[in-house]
Structure 1
């Protein structure tokens, strides 16, 4: 007897809603882990020669993944990222990446100039270009699970509107964003109008009440719109001192993806997997033993040299932890 996908999903533990049928969510539960890469991880490729889409496709193949969360700067002209606080310079990871947080205070003049160039690129680039990018990834066997858009407070309404259109053009119904509570509130009508989920991503800034960082801030964001979900970064969450597994248990039906990184507690730096304080193995075991179809995105942020090499090591660590978890039987 053939079991329909919706019937299979409705029988899952905790009766996870049918929203998992969306492209924003993972495939139905199976013993096969759903690992992908947040293409922010490939920022070391931006200053190198060659077409960035081609380089990311090759990188995914070398790592052994077929799913990405597409970081907007990795499809922009590389020059637009040259002054970004996370940009890799002379082969070294910056402090903004090492600690996984945007710098605070006034922005440098070069970054402000680049912001205007980014706005211009966003508004002038035809949607057909993003359709072609999505097609190139699909032709290579790689799914664009989400479009990670720079949804900042200085975005114009036209930029926000274009961001949602770009997500759709790429072939996904999920946008993820590191944003603020005020910007998330502004964005509510855009998500509803476009029929695109917004996965709220947080960092570990605990002294700015407008940031997504605490469990309460994520609860507030989710309450804003039925189109809002969570892009759960377990590294930032654990570094900020919160209970990662308890949050996962509470919000598992609202999590569209998990960012995997390992940070030290007490707002410490990113580290190679297994050397920080993030409960990576426990999260992997929880996802597998509860048969949750949640995509798991590797995000390389520690100072470890080549992104491809580091991501391959991260994936190996995850596969070993995944194999140790019992698979829930439906």
Structure 2
């Protein structure tokens, strides 16, 4: 692992000052959504392509923020100084007129993480998750019906809005590719991904060979790649079957989870499989011996510095995606902490 460095000191956060107008302009709602981006058209666009390494962010990083609309999410990305994103389904689908999800995901996400990591849940937490699971199933059924006639032009408008502000959407992660998804769901998700300008869709690895084969073949037809995401179940051979099945299958490698799983030499894995990595999530987690914690960047055991340096030196062109999962300090928020992560990357790549 790398020698610890002090966490880079973030520069003063630059607010664009157009957030309220941005959202209200869109909500006033002409069919020309571009009233919102017009407010930022003449403001300096972000650039997180740093010495050849594209630093991006997954919009899950902003899950603590109260407004999850496409317009507000764009503002969070801009305020963070980021020019490329892996966009989860919620903001774009809501913009396109999808049914409203009644589940408060800000409450459910932490409980889902505890369940995934086999942490003990209280009786109340278990009840909350069970109720949310039932609501999510009903919501997915409603979404499946909506997707049959979902307007692709609305997704194209999202792409144009983000592009006009200087932000590229490289990945799209709607809830349309899991084991419960029909072929129609999958086709919709890939058409929507193309419409927003993504070159990849991302999904949790289903641990089902028949499903990864289906997804890979459908991705080939759409000219996309499916990036399979893993948590602490990642190993050096975790993706091998999917990668062998189709050139449409790829890795959405999570560097931090790989370290927390105690796996050996992530740099060797990246060197070996870099052509099949569609994108990589970066965070700073501890080794199992140190507790597996998610820490502010530069405080954990993840070789962020070495990996970013490797990407710069070898000119790897997959994006490194900031995924904010450490505890947000009192008085701060997701945007400020994501900006610190970007500053860490900027210092590491300078």
User: Who is 1:94 aligned against?
Assistant: 110
Shift of 1:164: 0.9
Q: Which runs of 5+ in 2 are unaligned?
A: 1-48
The answer to whether structure 1 residue 155 and structure 2 residue 178 are counterparts is: no
SS in 2 for 1:282: helix
CA distance in structure 2 between the aligned counterparts of 1:293 and 1:219, rounded to whole angstroms:
21
Tell me if structure 2 keeps the 8 A contact 1:181–1:221.
no
1:115-154 CA-to-partner distances (Å, cap 9, x unmatched) read 2233334334211111111111111111111112332100
User: Aligned match of 2:292 in 256, 265, 268?
Assistant: 268
CA distance in structure 2 between the aligned counterparts of 1:216 and 1:257, rounded to whole angstroms:
17
Tell me if structure 1 keeps the 8 A contact 2:53–2:316.
no
The answer to whether structure 1 residue 214 and structure 2 residue 241 are counterparts is: no
Aligned-residue CA RMSD in angstroms? 2.8
CA distance in structure 2 between the aligned counterparts of 1:67 and 1:58, rounded to whole angstroms:
13
User: Who is 1:41 aligned against?
Assistant: 61
The answer to whether structure 1 residue 179 and structure 2 residue 205 are counterparts is: yes
TM-score, normalising length: structure 1: 0.76
Larger Rg: 2
- For these two proteins, the number of residue pairs brought into alignment is 281
CA distance in structure 2 between the aligned counterparts of 1:301 and 1:137, rounded to whole angstroms:
24
CA distance in structure 2 between the aligned counterparts of 1:97 and 1:273, rounded to whole angstroms:
20
User: Who is 1:114 aligned against?
Assistant: 139
TM-score, normalising length: structure 2: 0.72
- 5 Å-filtered alignment, 1:291-302, equals 291-302=315-326
Tell me if structure 2 keeps the 8 A contact 1:93–1:302.
no
CA distance in structure 1 between the aligned counterparts of 2:245 and 2:174, rounded to whole angstroms:
19
User: Aligned match of 2:228 in 177, 190, 200?
Assistant: 200
Shift of 1:82: 4.9
Shift of 1:97: 4.5
Residues 248 and 98 (structure 1), Cα distance of their counterparts in 2 relative to 1, 3 Å cut: farther
Shift of 1:57: 1.8
Shift of 1:30: 7.7
Tell me if structure 1 keeps the 8 A contact 2:262–2:287.
yes
CA distance in structure 2 between the aligned counterparts of 1:80 and 1:254, rounded to whole angstroms:
35
Tell me if structure 2 keeps the 8 A contact 1:43–1:88.
yes
User: Who is 1:312 aligned against?
Assistant: 339
User: Aligned match of 2:301 in 268, 273, 277?
Assistant: 277
